Amino acid sequence: MAEPTCIEIELPEFMNLLEAEVRKKLIEEVSDKIRPAVSDMFSTEVRKILAEKIDAFRTGSGESREESVERKEPERVESPDSPHTAQKSLTEEILSLPEEEAFQKLRLSLAQGEIDEPTFNKLKGLISSRVPQESLSCKKCGKELEPTAKFCRFCGTRIR
């Protein structure tokens, strides 16, 4: 169950002209009508702010999400034919990443609202249960590299 929160809202001046009982009933009725929309807006804004903070943490620069988006590669556009195409490509992308990066990408996807909680838990389980990939190290400097590396990120030597 979601935890409720209260938001302080200024009432219009004309509400002061109403009797206390009428004002109370009116506030309850309006609250019932707008609660779902306010809840959705709140959830959306929380996800945006979390995504910005996670993004700033990932880039380590403290810059806003809008500033860091300009430097990112363009996102892949998924075919609208299949509703699971985006989730499928996200799964493939996450499973191709080293474990720590996979968890970061997964948390960011949840924060941005790209995936829901059950999908997050399913993908988290896949990351945790996968067989560790064979490690790859640079022949020149000896540093450990990602299994998909084509060049050493430390010295630049071509790997494949």
Q: Could you report the per-residue pLDDT of 40-69, keeping only the tens digit for each?
A: 888 888 888 887 777 777 766 555 444 444
Query: For 96-122, what is each residue's pLDDT tens digit?
Result: 888 888 888 888 888 888 888 888 888
The answer to whether residue 136 is domain-embedded is no
Residue with tokens 């590299």: 145
Q: Is 69 helix (H, G, I), strand (E, B) or coil?
A: helix
Q: Is 61 helix (H, G, I), strand (E, B) or coil?
A: coil
- My answer on whether 59 and 93 are in the same domain is no
- My answer on whether 60 and 92 are in the same domain is no
- My answer on whether 99 and 59 are in the same domain is no
Residue 80, pLDDT above cutoff 50: no
What distance in Å separates the CA atoms of residue 99 and residue 96, rounded to the nearest whole number? 9
Residue 115, domain extent = 86-130
The answer to whether residue 73 is domain-embedded is no
The answer to whether residue 137 is domain-embedded is no
- My answer on whether 60 and 99 are in the same domain is no
The answer to whether residue 41 is domain-embedded is yes
The answer to whether residue 2 is domain-embedded is no
Q: What pTM, to 2 d.p., does this model score?
A: 0.37
The answer to whether residue 70 is domain-embedded is no
Q: What token pair was written down for 45?
A: 């804004």
Total count of domains within the chain: 2
More confident residue, 155 or 51: 155
Q: Mean pLDDT over all residues of the chain?
A: 76
- My answer on whether 27 and 61 are in the same domain is yes
The answer to whether residue 115 is domain-embedded is yes
Q: Are 61 and 68 in contact (CB under 8 A)?
A: yes
The answer to whether residue 138 is domain-embedded is no
- My answer on whether 61 and 94 are in the same domain is no
